[in-house]
Amino acid sequence: MAEPETVVTQLPRPLPDTVELDAGDLALTADEMDRLREASGLSLNLMLADDDDLDNLPHKQRALVWLALRRQGFDPSWQDCGKITLRRVAPPDPTIAG
């Protein structure tokens, strides 16, 4: 009698409550820009503009959370990114010996 085939389904990992993003590593690749625009349905100018317009802050926050999660191997929805806290961390100071 043949053994039944074992099928393993990889379940998605749960998203963290908080993500960290190195403030010195905010450069995006062209592919990341395309995927970010697709995930959000918003203009990159709106999400990534360097201004302090309070109406745009939620979009910017979600964009940075989305970027951090994607770089950690997650595939978050745009809605998921609004539920996750972003902690920006400063890049290490190369003048300080560790």
Evaluate whether residue 94 is within a structural domain: no
From 78, 75, 85, 98, select the one nearest 21 (Cα to Cα). Answer: 85
Quickly count: other Cβ atoms within 10 Å of residue 38's Cβ: 9
- Residue 97 has a pLDDT of 63
Q: What are 75-93's pLDDT values in tens digits?
A: 999 999 999 999 988 777 6
Query: Residue 98 — very low, low, confident or very high, per pLDDT cuts 50/70/90?
Result: low
Evaluate whether residue 81 is within a structural domain: yes
pTM for the whole structure: 0.76
Domain that holds residue 80: 27-89
With contact defined as beta carbons under 8 Å apart, do 23 and 92 qualify? Answer: no
Evaluate whether residue 53 is within a structural domain: yes
Evaluate whether residue 45 is within a structural domain: yes
Evaluate whether residue 5 is within a structural domain: no
Query: Residue 53 — very low, low, confident or very high, per pLDDT cuts 50/70/90?
Result: confident
Residue type, 79: Q
Evaluate whether residue 19 is within a structural domain: no
